[in-house]
Amino acid sequence: MTAPAHDISLVVNGEHVRERVDARTTLVDFLRDTLELTGSHVGCEHGVCGACTVRVNGTVVRGCLMLAVQCDGMRVETIEGVADTGEIADLEQAFIARNALQCGFCTPGMLLCAHAMLRDADAPMTRDEIREKLHGNLCRCTGYTDIVDAIEDAQAQGITR
Ligand code: FES
Ligand code: FES
């Protein structure tokens, strides 16, 4: 049976978008397949790995757990958008300096998660707190140490944007 289609209107990376979507289309599939924003990755499709992390109205969410229709009227930012604005440029440099990526599959989600934790922290985070906040973003390559190092460096440099 074909799912009903819905017209949605939203702002993606600062641009107004109007599309007709299947009611069951996830946000990450909509971003990747319809808008060709393939920086958000799809791993588990069950909300476990964090590869699909994007921002909706400023909050970091799992793109595989939201439906595109739920984002009608909302503001969505992907890794492409925050990279283009330079919002995460310093954080990207911290990741590069610490070799905090290997295959890169987890990296867009890691960067968005790290950016949000730096932005939202009321006080300097310990390494354990950084690791705890990363618990929803899985990396199969790095062992996490270099990622935590990079976030710690960014924090020490006052990188919150
Ligand atoms: S693909 Fe969304 S959490 Fe894994
Ligand atoms: S760098 Fe490969 S999954 Fe994280």
List, as one string, the DSSP characters of 88-118: THHHHHHHHHTT--SS-SSHHHHHHHHHHHH
Cα–Cα distance for residue pair 25/97, rounded to 1 Å: 37
CB-based contact 142:86 (threshold 8 Å): no
Give mean pLDDT, residues 48-66: 98
Cα–Cα distance for residue pair 46/84, rounded to 1 Å: 28
CB-based contact 61:17 (threshold 8 Å): no
As for ligand 1, residues whose beta carbon falls within 6 Å of it are 42-45, 47-52, 62, 64
Q: Which range, of 3-7, 14-18, 80-84, 99-103, averages the lowest pLDDT?
A: 3-7
Tokens of residue 114, six digits: 């790290």
Does the pLDDT value for residue 110 go beyond 60? yes
Question: Nearest ligand to the C-alpha of residue 105?
Answer: 2
Give mean pLDDT, residues 109-118: 97
Instruction: Looking at the CA of residue 102, tell me the nearest atom of ligand 2.
Output: 1
What proportion of the chain, given as a percentage, has pLDDT over 90? 95
CB-based contact 24:3 (threshold 8 Å): yes
Does the pLDDT value for residue 161 go beyond 60? no
C-beta 93 within 6 A of ligand 2: no
Give mean pLDDT, residues 63-77: 98
What pLDDT is attached to residue 61? 98
What pLDDT is attached to residue 4? 87
- Between the CA of 99 and the centroid of ligand 2 the distance, in Å, is 11
End-to-end CA distance of the chain: 46
Query: Which 3 state secondary structure label does DSSP give 54?
Result: strand
Does the pLDDT value for residue 56 go beyond 70? yes
